[in-house]
Amino acid sequence: MTIAVLPAVTRGLLEHHLPAGIEARWFASPFEANAMIEDAEIAWVDMQPTSLVADAIRSAGSRLRWVSTIYAGLDAFPLDVLRQGNVTLTNGVGVNAIAVAEYAVMGILAAAKRFDDVLRARDRHEWPSDAPGKIELPGTSALIVGMGAIGALVAERLRAFGVSVTGVTRSGRDGTLTPDAWRPRLAEFDWVVLAAPSTGATRMMVGAGELAAMKRSAWLINVARGDMVDQEALLAGLDTGLIAGAFLDPTDPEPLPPEHPLWRARNAMITMHLSGRSQSRMLERGASLFLENLRAYLAGRPMRNVADLEAGY
């Protein structure tokens, strides 16, 4: 019998589709997850806050062989523990890609029309005589740092609006820029979109130098991770008009404390890392991916979305 620890919230989606030979243990609390995983071979232990995921995995015994997650980023996972235990990790790349890509495009549209100022006028019961934002997207250009599942969808949607798109990938495939080639070209772009996985190499990838190299009219759009941006440098850049503004779905830290100065930055739009949750099919898609991978795992076939534990994504 193969023991699998699974979220109780997915029981209705999974239970009647589990193959014979799977003993499912459904957890509804961190305490239950930590206890159930001790002799499990398979674990899907996604929880909020994500620090609880690492705690559960560290509670696992030597039988653990596969960890599944609907998260695309792996910064919550103790990758060293998984490597030492020779555990396979499959991530949720694609599960939230549509929703996150739509958020990125929404951010660009909101910035172009300064919809944040429109809402402020509405809250003040004002009727402006002119529009606060007048940028039309055709003829503008976007740099997308990270052309994976999310970045590719952002590019597809922006091209439909007439935006010229340049991507950044690790390999430079399909005419994209390599990681060492995008910074010298920052002055070319109106929109700089961060959609890369969070790794040691991407931490603080946008700092004072990168912000200074951008157009003063450019916007930074972050739908990746907050730690990719030097928050102090960003605040300084926003306060001095070094860039026009920033649309920040993730921040660093999270949740952003009520007293944090980013809340007061007039040209920063903060969306509280809600992009991936702005859909109704996340668990359905996650359950479908898990079942597909479970069948492959039991049959000894390659699974989808196997993470590179050395690279961190």
| E strand spans, the chain | 2-7, 22-27, 42-43, 66-68, 88-90, 141-145, 164-168, 191-194, 219-222, 245-248, 268-270
Task: Give pLDDT tens digits for 203-261.
Answer: 999 999 999 999 999 999 999 999 999 999 999 999 999 999 999 999 999 999 999 99
Does some domain include residue 305?
Answer: no
Do 230 and 166 share a structural domain?
yes
Q: Give the model's pLDDT for residue 76.
A: 87
Percent of the chain with pLDDT over 90: 95
Residues 6+ apart with CB under 8 A from 254: 226, 273
Region 162-186: what's the mean pLDDT? 97
The mean predicted confidence, pLDDT, of the chain is 97
Sheet of strand 42-43: strand arrangement: 22-27, 2-7, 42-43, 66-68, 88-90
Do 248 and 144 share a structural domain?
yes
CATH number at residue 78: 3.40.50.720
- DSSP assignment, residue 131? -
Please, what is the Cα angle at 188 between 182 and 193, to 5 degrees? 60
- Tell me how far apart the alpha carbons of residues 211 and 220 are, in angstroms, rounded to a whole number: 9
- Tell me how far apart the alpha carbons of residues 98 and 95 are, in angstroms, rounded to a whole number: 8
Does some domain include residue 309?
Answer: no
Do 163 and 288 share a structural domain?
no
Task: Give pLDDT tens digits for 77-102.
Answer: 999 999 999 999 999 999 999 999 99
Neighbours of 70 (CB within 10 A): 23
Region 110-117: what's the mean pLDDT? 98
Q: Give the model's pLDDT for residue 50.
A: 87
Higher pLDDT: 176 or 311? It is 176
Do 188 and 247 share a structural domain?
yes
Region 144-154: what's the mean pLDDT? 97
Task: Give pLDDT tens digits for 265-302.
Answer: 989 999 999 999 999 999 999 999 999 999 999 999 99
Q: Give the model's pLDDT for residue 226.
A: 96
| Annotated catalytic residue, options 203, 254, 260, 292 | 254
| Annotated catalytic residue, options 41, 114, 210, 225 | 225
Does some domain include residue 29?
Answer: yes
What are the φ and ψ backbone dihedral angles of 104, each rounded to 5 degrees? -60, -45
Percent of the chain with pLDDT over 70: 100
Closest CA to 234 of 259, 205, 273, 276: 205
Neighbours of 152 (CB within 10 A): 19
Residue 72's identity, in one-letter code, is A
Whether residue 156 lies in the annotated active site: no
pLDDT at 122 over 90: yes
Do 180 and 81 share a structural domain?
no
| E strand or H helix at 100 | helix 97-113
Do 169 and 252 share a structural domain?
yes
Do 123 and 90 share a structural domain?
no
Do 79 and 131 share a structural domain?
no
CA distances from 93 to 69, 168, 189, 286 (A): 9, 18, 27, 10
Do 128 and 218 share a structural domain?
yes
Secondary structure tally for the chain: helices H, strands E? 10, 11
Whether residue 173 lies in the annotated active site: no
| Annotated catalytic residue, options 25, 41, 114, 273 | 273
Q: Give the model's pLDDT for residue 279.
A: 97
In total, how many domains does the chain have? 2
User: Are the beta carbons of 309 and 79 closer than 8 angstroms?
Assistant: yes
Do 116 and 247 share a structural domain?
yes
Q: Give the model's pLDDT for residue 27.
A: 98
Q: Give the model's pLDDT for residue 200.
A: 87
Sheet of strand 268-270: strand arrangement: 164-168, 141-145, 191-194, 219-222, 245-248, 268-270
User: Are the beta carbons of 222 and 109 closer than 8 angstroms?
Assistant: no
Do 258 and 112 share a structural domain?
yes
Whether residue 284 lies in the annotated active site: no
Domain range holding 194?
A: 97-277
Does some domain include residue 210?
Answer: yes
Do 107 and 85 share a structural domain?
no
